Amino acid sequence: QKQVAESGGGLVQHGGSLRLACAATGFTLRYYAIGWFRQAPGKEREGVSCISSNGGGTNYADSVKGRFTLSRDVAKNTVYLQMNSLKPEDTAVYYCAADRNDILNFCSITSTVRYDYWGQGTQVTVSS
C-alpha cells in the first residue's frame, strides 16, 4: 500500500526552526515528486514547496523562499522540509503528498489534483 506520513511538527517560538519529515512507504521516491502543502484555520490549502522525482528541481512559495529548504534521502525514502525563521503566519497543518511524475526537474505546488497520496498532516504552531 502506497502511503506518505508526516512527522516533526510542534510548537515553536517566532524565529525558531523545525524540520518536518515525509516518509514514503510502498513506493520509491525515484518516480514521485513530493509536495508540501499547508492549511491554516479558515483558509484554503496552499502549496509550500516541492521536489521533483529526480531531486533536481524544487519550487517554493514566495512566502517561504529563503526560510524553508527541501532535501531528500532516497535511501530512507524520506523528504525533509527544514523551516527556519518561523513566523506566526506559518502556523498551519502541514501535509506532504506524492505525485507519480517522472518529468525531470519538474514539480508543482499550484495543483493539488496532481497528487495521488496524501498524509494525515502534522500541526505546526508558531507563537508570537
Which pLDDT value is given to residue 74? 93
Strand boundaries in 1-127, DSSP class E? 3-7, 10-13, 18-25, 32-39, 46-51, 58-60, 68-73, 78-83, 92-100, 117-118, 122-127
In three-state secondary structure terms, 101 is: coil
**In whole angstroms, how far apart are CA 33 and each of 40, 98, 106, 121?**
23, 6, 8, 17
Q: What is the residue-level pLDDT of the chain in tens, covering all 128 positions?
A: 999 999 999 999 999 999 999 999 999 999 999 999 999 999 999 999 999 999 999 999 999 999 999 999 999 999 999 999 999 999 999 999 999 998 999 999 999 999 999 999 999 999 99
Question: Which amino acid type is present at position 3?
Answer: Q
Q: According to the model, what pLDDT value does residue 102 have?
A: 86
